[in-house]
Amino acid sequence: MTESQTPARSPVHEFDYIADPGLLADAHARYWDLKEAAPPVFWTSAHGGHWVCNSGAAVTRVLRHPEIFSSRILSIPPNPNQPKMIPEMLDPPEHRPYRQMLRPFFESKAIAPLEGRVTEWTEELLGAVIAAGECDFVASVASRLPVAVFMELFGFPMDRFDEFRGLVVSFFNARASADERNRLAQTILGHLAELFQARMAEPRDDMVSKIIASEIDGRKPDFDELMSIGFLMFLAGLDTVTNAMSFGMRHLAHDAALRQRAIDDPAVIPDMVEELLRRYAFVAAPRYIVQDTELEGAQLKAGDCILAPLPLVGWDEGLNPDPATVSVERQFYRHAAFGSGIHTCLGLHLARMELIVFYRIWFARIGHFRQIEKGDESCRGGSVMALEHLHLAWNA
Ligand code: HEM
């Protein structure tokens, strides 16, 4: 659509959710300023024109009404070549049977047996950096642990860890071109196909074998569905845990009192994890509008796209008093870091367990730490925001 054809929408507030310079400098500070400065729902001309929710209430309404705000186009601008991801890109009623099929694999009782291995991986990763007294936390720890957990969970051979981690880091690199990312996606899909074929021929006691043997509405998933599910797990489970850890550790580097609490009383760590997720949620979920509707006074049209930045729910004063402050004394941690409604994160028990295990081991073995600025601490914008580097130092 050319500029002259762009439909009139109001209110307008210009904001580029991928490349806004303030966002790249500090994603959370920029979204916080936006919340204070712009209307609760606004239109921007960026990326072909789209709506942005700018209040917790607007985000919640979008997530809770899939009949109006569809997930079938999950990118802004719409990308017709985006590989389909099941179940995230399905609306009701198609979404439900896939979700039901996958749910048992992610319930807390299915995840609990992994804790021992997650502990071993964390010990090993931290063991490799402790003596140096400093590291780029994103490269050395945060981007490694979720890859190991994902490979183990899915049943990828662990002797390919370095190769696999290299692929993951390049795929999520903000500077990768679209062509490069498509090429990497094909390589990843190739690995997934190889794994699915191997387990179809010879099932094992791993998640992939169990998904292959499961049923959706009384039939087995076909190969394309398996690939869609596998690709979504890859996208959903790797970068997200990395970012939660990185944003959380950046906060802790500047919060000596909370670090001391975690060192003195590790029982506070689950609350700390929840509060850090609330304060530093990092997903901005895109949706495609399929019915004309009104949202916080704005007139939305079928065919428009809307961005729902999830941090805004946890920053809603009405849900969490004094939302800017990180406090483990709250009675409730009300947030939408894992989404809300039918697409609420399936991996949330796994993600929480990885984060809790990580912080316990970090505070037991390393304790206090500080951030060293090296000038490359920029953020990545987009629908999953990330910290590119985080240099931490401690007394080895
Ligand atoms: C801190 C880490 C994580 C965060 C913050 C997170 C966040 C989210 C969010 C916000 C959604 C909803 C997106 C939407 O509504 O469009 C989602 C969906 C999903 N997540 Fe996570 N996620 C995390 C970790 C994981 C992990 C470890 C896995 C599994 C390996 C996972 C698997 C999924 C799946 C399968 C969905 C789609 C659910 C559906 O559409 O029904 N996530 N996640």
pLDDT of the residue at 1:
45
Cut 0.85: pTM above it: yes
Determine how many CB atoms are found less than 10 A away from the CB of residue 243: 26
Output the CA 65–ligand 1 centroid distance in Å: 18
Cβ atoms 236, 339 nearer than 8 A: no
Ligand 1 pocket residue status of 244, Cβ below 6 Å: yes
Q: With 50 as the cut, is the pLDDT of residue 4 above it?
A: no
Q: With 90 as the cut, is the pLDDT of residue 374 above it?
A: yes
Distance CA 351, CA 118 (A): 11
Retrieve residue 90's tokens: 């399905």
Beta-strand relationship, 370-371 and 293-295: unpaired
Percent of the chain with pLDDT over 70: 98
Cα dihedral 280, 281, 283, 289 in deg (nearest 10): -130
Q: Which atom of ligand 1 is nearest to the CA of 150?
A: 30
Distance CA 42, CA 30 (A): 16
pLDDT of the residue at 3:
46
Ligand 1 pocket residue status of 145, Cβ below 6 Å: no
Using a 10 angstrom Cβ sphere, with 0-12 exposed, 13-18 middle and 19 or more buried, the burial of residue 179 is exposed
The 10s digit of each residue's pLDDT in 258-272 is 999 999 999 999 999
Nearest residue to 241 (alpha-carbon basis) of 92, 351, 340, 135: 351
Q: Which amino acid is at 336?
A: A
What rounded mean pLDDT belongs to the chain?
93
The 10s digit of each residue's pLDDT in 213-226 is 999 989 999 999 99
Ligand 1 pocket residue status of 233, Cβ below 6 Å: yes
Ligand 1 pocket residue status of 56, Cβ below 6 Å: no
Least confident of 36-45, 179-188, 259-268, 380-389: 179-188
The stretch 359-386 carries a mean pLDDT of 95
b/e for 132-146, b at 16 or more Cβ within 10 A?
A: eeebbbbebbbbbbb
H or E element that contains 213: helix 207-213
Output the CA 345–ligand 1 centroid distance in Å: 4
Pocket test for ligand 1, best of 240, 349, 355 (most atoms within 8 A of CB): 240
Our measurement of the distance from residue 345's CA atom to the centroid of its chain's CA atoms, rounded to an integer in Å, reads 9
pLDDT of the residue at 159:
86
How many CA atoms does the CB half-sphere of 194 hold within 13 Å? 9
pLDDT of the residue at 312:
98
The 10s digit of each residue's pLDDT in 162-199 is 888 888 888 887 677 778 888 888 898 999 999 999 99
Least confident of 153-157, 188-192, 362-366: 153-157
Distance CA 313, CA 57 (A): 7
pLDDT of the residue at 5:
54
Ligand 1 pocket residue status of 143, Cβ below 6 Å: no
Q: With 70 as the cut, is the pLDDT of residue 7 above it?
A: no
Structural domains of the chain, with CATH: 8-75+91-393 (1.10.630.10)
Ligand 1 pocket residue status of 221, Cβ below 6 Å: no
Q: Which atom of ligand 1 is nearest to the CA of 87?
A: 40
Percent of the chain with pLDDT over 90: 81
Output the CA 383–ligand 1 centroid distance in Å: 12
The stretch 239-264 carries a mean pLDDT of 97
Distance CA 243, CA 280 (A): 9
Output the CA 98–ligand 1 centroid distance in Å: 14
Q: With 70 as the cut, is the pLDDT of residue 9 above it?
A: yes
Output the CA 396–ligand 1 centroid distance in Å: 35
Per-position DSSP letters for 49-93, written without gaps between them:
-EEEE-SHHHHHHHHH-TTTEESSS-SSS--TTSPP-TTTT--TT
